[in-house]
Amino acid sequence: MKQNLDEIVKTLQGAKNILVACHVFPDGDALGSQLALGEVLESLGKNVFLYGEDAVTHLYDFLPGSERIITMLPDLRDFDCAVALDCGDNKRLGQGMDLLLAIHPFIVIDHHFGHKDFGDMRWVDHTRSSTGEMVYELIMAMGADISKDVAFCLYTAIVSDSGSFKYASTSAETFRIAGELVEKGVKPAKVAGKLFDNFTVNRLQLLNEVLATLQLHCNDKLAVIRVTREMFERTNAAKADTETFINYPRSLKTVKIAIFLKEAENGLIAVSLRSKGKEYDVARIAGLFSGGGHRNAAGFKRSGVSLDEVERALLAEVAPLLGAG
């Protein structure tokens, strides 16, 4: 792993024109990592292009430099190196995947469990809390300085993907890096305010409507919530606003598996699944519906069916696992 890191450092140091990409529907870790690495590479004299297929949502536009991320593919012949950050597989690059992967060397830095190898040079470590934590180490290995903005982006990445130091991948090393970034001038309360105190009234109203749909099954071990098109319309909230809602049924003491059924645009039904601990693998359940993800967080999409139909099919698979027929 360290060997790969050394190779990546040398490659980046030798490159002149670098494309840095993050995944579709980018979150705080993807964007924080991308913006931090971008600024550092520029400080080292590189020409940097920051690419992401999807625009930065209002949840993350507080990140310094976020307006610099471009959603249109540039002329890819201009680059002598590309970096994909926080992408568990090549599909996470979006529709421009094939074009992007034509850039060589193509560097991949990721922390997802079950990462599917792609690219030319890989540094993948699923024991890390976040890609941000890895980018911090990469920057250290390059011997570059960390500006206050870079520290802010990396800290946001770490907080974002560790659920503010709550998830299992939070390590002593995560805390050591967070401490270093605070020494560089990051104010933890400021980042937390931006990430967690960013509710709009519409979003809180939508949360309220969604929580009212809570159904418990299998001796309260299974919790199901849903959001419908009417709820989105009534509250004037957006899809991105539902991002953390599944944490509420998940936070119930008795719950082992939580399901969030979402009526998305164009008749699509999006389903998020969460489980606690090692007992239940929701990636396997999502796999039954052509979806995927991690053991504790997975999802799938369906079209041409109703929320009720998806729920019935899903309960038929999940209930037996939880000891109910």
Query: Which residues contact its own copies (rule: CB under 8 A)?
Result: 159, 163-168, 170-176, 178-180, 182-183, 187-189, 192-193, 196-201, 204-205, 207-208, 211-212, 214, 216, 220, 248-254, 276
Q: In angstroms, what is the minimal distance from the CB of 288 to its own copies?
A: 26
- Distance separating alpha carbons of residues 44 and 46, to the nearest angstrom: 6
Q: In angstroms, what is the minimal distance from the CB of 193 to its own copies?
A: 7
Q: Which is nearer to its own copies, 78 or 183 (CB)?
A: 183
Query: Which long-range contacts does 51-55 make (Cβ < 8 Å, 24+ apart)?
Result: 51/19, 51/20, 51/21, 51/22, 51/96, 51/100, 52/21, 52/22, 52/23, 52/24, 52/26, 53/24, 53/93, 53/94, 53/95, 53/96, 54/24, 54/25, 54/26, 54/94
Q: In angstroms, what is the minimal distance from the CB of 102 to its own copies?
A: 40
- Distance separating alpha carbons of residues 314 and 78, to the nearest angstrom: 47
- Distance separating alpha carbons of residues 258 and 45, to the nearest angstrom: 47
Q: Which is nearer to its own copies, 220 or 309 (CB)?
A: 220
According to DSSP, the β-strands at 222-227 and 215-217 are antiparallel
Q: Which is nearer to its own copies, 24 or 195 (CB)?
A: 195
- Distance separating alpha carbons of residues 310 and 197, to the nearest angstrom: 33
Q: In angstroms, what is the minimal distance from the CB of 217 to its own copies?
A: 12
Q: Which is nearer to its own copies, 198 or 306 (CB)?
A: 198
Pair of tokens at residue 176: 């050591």
Q: In angstroms, what is the minimal distance from the CB of 151 to its own copies?
A: 11
- Distance separating alpha carbons of residues 298 and 275, to the nearest angstrom: 9
Q: Which helix (H) or strand (E) holds 50?
A: strand 47-51
Q: Which is nearer to its own copies, 34 or 130 (CB)?
A: 130
Picking from 86, 180, 82, 84, the residue whose alpha carbon sits closest to that of residue 131 is 86
Which phi and psi (to 5°) does residue 19 adopt? -100, 130
Q: In angstroms, what is the minimal distance from the CB of 276 to its own copies?
A: 7
Dihedral sign from CA coordinates of 157, 161, 166, 171: negative
Q: Which is nearer to its own copies, 182 or 319 (CB)?
A: 182
Q: Which is nearer to its own copies, 29 or 53 (CB)?
A: 29
C-beta separation of 268 from 301 below 8 A: yes
Q: In angstroms, what is the minimal distance from the CB of 230 to its own copies?
A: 17
